[in-house]
Amino acid sequence: MKRDSGKKDNRSTAGEPDAAQASPAPSAQAAFASYAAPLVADAIEFAEAVREDTSPEALHKLRVSLRRLRSLWWAFEPLLKKEENTRQRALFKFLATAAGKTRDWDILIELLAHEDSGAHEIAPTFQEARGDALAVSRETLANADVKHLLREALSGASKELNTAHERVALRKFATRRVDSAKRSLKKRTKRASRAKRSDYTAFHDVRKAGKKLRYLLDFFAPVLKGNCKRTVKRLKQIQKRFGALNDVVASEGLLREHAASLAGSGDTGAVLAWFRQERKRRLRTAAQLLRKR
């Protein structure tokens, strides 16, 4: 490469690309692995930790990492084969559900431990049920061979994207996918704001759409134009309030599902009554947040 002669010349050196050409904007296809590989590594680490660590935190981290993977595969859906993408996302959901079965008991136990719910007599039975669920979660995750499945998913998607003939700029692609997630959240928020309080599904859809958008912003915020802080703040509010509602609804459902096995352990009727009241209260606070949008 020729040294600078000292003369100012705005033209590129003959035969050499200028700075913009030398550092082309990254493509979405090339960037995929940089997003996916760390998530896969985390999920594998957390899955292995669950074999030894029985704490609620270990299961929570595993479930979150799998949800983030599912959102990433959704983000890259337009660039991947539809059937394979759908299969992989279903796989991530299956593994997250396996971890979630134990996590659901953790949430129920935590909810009732700090409230005047009348659950003190049943608490030992809850812990026993949680232990049984953990055994099932561990067996399911071990039989699934999480490490192999996730590495295979990463390898397959990366190969498909790296061998694609077309390329799309990462910023352009990220903007489109974030905009799509925003439209989905707006649509579901509008539907929930008009829904009856008994229509929990409408509120749950807002939570899922908000969580997906939050994950996408976590991935793509550095390459997007503008500042996402205000949107992220709003999404955190949604996740906190709607997550609290979901915890109660899911725990109530879990208790009803196992009501027969809990019979004789304590006053399950009083606990269910507490859940009904708490669900109504949290539905009101969730609805209030929608009105502030």
Q: Is the pLDDT of residue 5 over 80?
A: no
Q: What's the domain count of the chain? A: 1
The pTM assigned to this predicted structure is 0.84
For residues 144 and 50, give the distance between their C-alpha atoms in angstroms, rounded to a whole number.
14
For residues 181 and 162, give the distance between their C-alpha atoms in angstroms, rounded to a whole number.
25
For residues 40 and 34, give the distance between their C-alpha atoms in angstroms, rounded to a whole number.
11
* Residue that wins the pLDDT comparison between 2 and 273: 273
Is 140 inside any structural domain? yes
Is 14 inside any structural domain? no
179: confidence class by pLDDT, cuts 50, 70, 90 = very high
Q: Which residues contact 167 (CB under 8 A, 6 or more apart)?
A: 27, 28, 29, 30
Is 71 inside any structural domain? yes
Q: Which residues contact 230 (CB under 8 A, 6 or more apart)?
A: none
Is 83 inside any structural domain? yes
pLDDT digits (tens, 9 = 90+) for 9-63: 443 333 333 444 445 678 999 999 999 999 999 999 999 998 888 888 888 899 9
Is 2 inside any structural domain? no
Is 19 inside any structural domain? no
**pLDDT at residue 114 in the model:** 67
Q: Which domain holds residue 146?
A: 25-291
Is 187 inside any structural domain? yes
List the one residue out of 116, 95, 123, 78 whose CA is nearest residue 39: 95
pLDDT digits (tens, 9 = 90+) for 212-235: 999 999 999 999 998 898 999 999
* Residue that wins the pLDDT comparison between 212 and 274: 212
Is 11 inside any structural domain? no
**Which amino acid is it at 214?**
R
CATH number reported for the structural domain that contains residue 220 in this entry: 1.40.20.10
List the one residue out of 175, 216, 207 whose CA is nearest residue 188: 207
